[in-house]
Every structure is written in C-alpha cells, then in structure tokens.
Amino acid sequence: MKISNKSSIPTTIALIVLALTPLIFYFSGCVAVPDQPVVASGSMDKELDRQSPSCGSILDPSEKRKETGGIDPSSFAVLSWNSHRGGHKDWNRDLIALGSDADIILLQEAALEPVLDTQLDIAANQWLMATAFHLDDREIGVMSAARVAPQAYCVAREPEPLFKIPKIGLAAAYRFAGLERSLLVVNIHIVNYTIDVDAVQRQIGALEQIVRTHEGPVIVAGDFNTWNNEREDLVLQKMNELGMSSVSFEPDHRVSFFNHKVDGVFYRGLEVTKSLSHQVESSDHNPLEVHFRLYGG
C-alpha cells in the first residue's frame, strides 16, 4: 500500500486498514500456509527441486554443489522489487525491461505462476522461490534469481503475530567467477502487522548469525516495512552491528509510508558503482537497481 508523505491518517487506523487484507483472505478461505518453509528451485520455466532448508547458524557453500562459472566480481547488478504479486498491469514488461541485464533479481511478494516462469527466461534465470502462503492456485513469497545456480541456500520465516501469515527471509550463496569466496545474498520481506518490534527482531535474528559468520561479501535487500521510527532504528542498528552499509539513492523514488522509506539495500565487502530507484505503475513499490564490484577489485 503506497501512502504519500503528506498523509495525515493516524498510524492505528492505517494498521487496521492494512490488516483487513489478510483478514479478508482468511475468511474467504483462499489462503493456505505450508506446515514448514519450502523452497522451490528451478531454471527458467522448469522447476528442478523442492526442499525445506531451515537457516541455522551457518550457510556453508563448501558443503553444497559447486557450479561452473560465477558472478563477475568486477561488475554485477542487483534488482530488488516488491512486485505486489504481479497484480498490476504491465508488471511483467517492467520486470523484463529492468531485469534483463541484472545478475541477481530479488522479488518480494512474488507469485510463482506460468507468467513469472516465462518472464524469468532472462539472464538471471536460476531461481529460488520461498513460499510464504498459497493464494488460490498461486504460491506467494520471495524469489531470488541469478545468472548462476546457488551453491547453498536456506529459508527462515516469521508469522505475522495477528494473522499468522508468514513473512520470509531467503539466504543464498553464489559463486564469484575465478574466486574461492562466495557472495551471500539475503532477500527479506519483514513482518508488517505489528504494534511493537518483537517479531521484527526475531525475523532478523533468525538470519543474523549467517550474515555475521559469512566469510565474504554480503547483500541484504528487500521490503523492510520500516514505516515508523522504532522499526527503522532496529533495522539500522542490526545492519550496523553486522558491518553493513546502506545504499543511498539520488533521486530517491523509494515508496514512503508515514514519511519512512520501506525498501532498502544493505551491503558489506563491496563497492557501489551506481544506484537507481525506478518509478513504475506496475506495483505499489518501486524497483531498486544497484551495481556493485568486489571491494578493492
């Protein structure tokens, strides 16, 4: 839901309005939550595997498959976007236009369905889909796609305290071409329908140790739902403790909710060479495009 910076709607009323959507879903009986976190992996329009790899204290790429090729450490691009379940006109056109040259695409509120499978017939077409819930005949969650298959991945989820529909954090390690080090990428959609920040803290905490112990560059990006000072301060504090820096955008077209930007990209061990925030009508969030290179490379 996009609310302008000039909105005078009280926070409590807005939270009630926000909460109506999952409430309607529950009473209509069209939402189903998997018993455990599930990650589907695939290539272009072909699903290859389904697993339930819960995140623990470490994500070790050396224990998983090793792929040929890798991400170019001297220059690579990341696109992060809450695509709002692909429910807006021309969203797939915007995905192709903005994502065709991306090395990594991170979608929140992605909908795994034939049209998205087809649109991922682009450079970043080795994908992971972590399902939060089923809506009618679609799987909704976070999707991470890259030019190369992940070396390792895991998922953590945190239920919304009120309605128990989960939000997802998906961590994946990708090989750098010609290097032993890997790139850790965390695609996250933070819980939204809360008054305090306890659930936010738990969700970040479930992935915190993996980020802390990863011996290589890290990117944490997604929809942080930082729509008030307490939420924003907590996210910034946690990212700072993990040695992460925030990507700035100028001009900054990120969506604002109660005068707070809710989407973001954080990084460690990398240099930002270019950052863009794109204005679109195909979602209630605007895509973020960031170009990186390995620090010191």
Task: Read off the tokens for 212.
Answer: 């802390």
If one counts every other C-beta atom within 10 angstroms of the C-beta of residue 101, the result is 13
For range 136-161, the mean pLDDT? 94
Mean pLDDT score, 162-188? 94
List, in order, residues 6 or more apart from 46 with CB less than 8 Å away: none
Mean pLDDT of all residues in the chain? 88
pTM: 0.90
Contact between 254 and 288 under an 8 Å Cβ cutoff? The reply is yes
pLDDT digits (tens, 9 = 90+) for 61-105: 765 555 568 999 999 999 999 998 887 888 889 999 999 999 999
Residue 222 backbone zone (phi > 0: left; psi -120 to 50: alpha; other: beta): left
Helices marked H in the chain: 11-28, 91-99, 114-119, 198-213, 229-241
Query: What per-residue confidence (pLDDT) applies to 56?
Result: 83
pLDDT (0 to 100) of residue 5: 41
Contact present, 203 and 158 (Cβ < 8 Å): yes
pLDDT of residue 120: 79
Name the residue with higher pLDDT: 137 or 127. Answer: 127
Query: DSSP class of residue 30?
Result: -
pLDDT of residue 4: 40
What local confidence, expressed as pLDDT, does residue 88 receive? 80
Weakest mean pLDDT among 14-23, 109-118, 132-141, 261-270: 14-23
User: Who has greater pLDDT, 117 or 293?
Assistant: 293
Average pLDDT over residues 124-141: 91
Q: Summarize the confidence of residues 189-212 as an average pLDDT.
A: 95
Place of tokens 């903005």: 98
pLDDT number for residue 62: 63
Q: What is the per-residue pLDDT for 155?
A: 97
- Percent pLDDT > 90 in the chain is 68
Render pLDDT for 155-167 as a digit per residue (tens, 0 to 9). 999 999 888 899 9
Is the per-residue pLDDT at 274 higher than 50?
yes
Assess whether pLDDT exceeds 80 at residue 1.
no
Find the range with the poorest average confidence among 52-66, 129-143, 156-170, 174-188: 52-66
As given in the structure block, the two tokens for residue 204 are 């970040």
Which residue ranges make up each domain of the chain? 11-294
Closest CA to 268 of 245, 297, 241: 245
CATH class of 11-294: alpha beta
190 to 59, 92, 165: CA distances (angstroms): 21, 24, 12
pLDDT digits (tens, 9 = 90+) for 12-66: 555 555 545 555 554 445 789 999 999 999 998 888 999 999 998 788 776 555 5
